[in-house]
Amino acid sequence: MFILSDRGTGERYVIPAKAADESTIRLLLAESQQESLTVYTDGFRAYESLEEDDAFTREYVFHGDGEYIDGDVHVNTCESHGSLVRSWLSPDRGVSKDKLTPYLRAFQLRRRVYRKTGEEALKPSSTLHYDSPTISATRAICLLC
């Protein structure tokens, strides 16, 4: 499962994935048609190929060396959102893979409603995406296994 946080809009996305590899990451970022996309990651090896790609600027922190933040470079928002997802799933003692997507959709809807006040939360939102998030100029991405 991937957690993506768009620093431009503040939107957060939880995306189920069958594999945590380079091809999956490229699929997540494939809809990016922006001139400059900065991807903030941790030191996970599958992200290394992004450094060779001209479509992205990759900046990262390496938790293994005790580095968690370096100026604007961090994945704390993604990790925080991931902990909320885990606590959402924990009462059910996990979820089968075929039911994961509906659970994550329910989680995202709940977060959208709780983050807004009153009638604002009930208005239709064109920014609520489940499987293909929109991308602004700056996005943080991190992997939670």
The string over 5-22, giving b where at least 16 C-beta atoms fall within 10 Å of a residue's C-beta and e elsewhere, is bbeeeebbbbbeeeeeee
Q: Which of 65-69, 83-87, 92-96 has the highest mean pLDDT?
A: 65-69
- pTM value surpassing 0.85: no
Q: What is the pLDDT of residue 40?
A: 86
Residue 74 DSSP one-character state: -
DSSP string of 42-59, one letter each residue: -S-GGGGGGGG-TTEEEE
Confidence of residue 12 (pLDDT cuts 50, 70, 90): confident
Task: Please give the average per-residue pLDDT across 129-140, as a whole number.
Answer: 50
Instruction: Categorise residue 71: left if φ over 0, alpha if ψ from -120 to 50, beta otherwise.
Output: left
What are the pLDDT digits (tens) for 15-62?
888 888 888 888 887 765 565 678 888 888 888 888 888 777 888 889
Find, among 129, 134, 124, the residue nearest to 104 by Cα.
129
**131 band by pLDDT with thresholds 50, 70 and 90:** very low
Contacts of 102 (CB under 8 A, 6+ apart): none
What is the predicted pLDDT for the residue at 54? 79
Q: Quick check: 4 pLDDT over 80?
A: yes
Provide the CA 119 distance to its chain's centre, in angstroms: 27
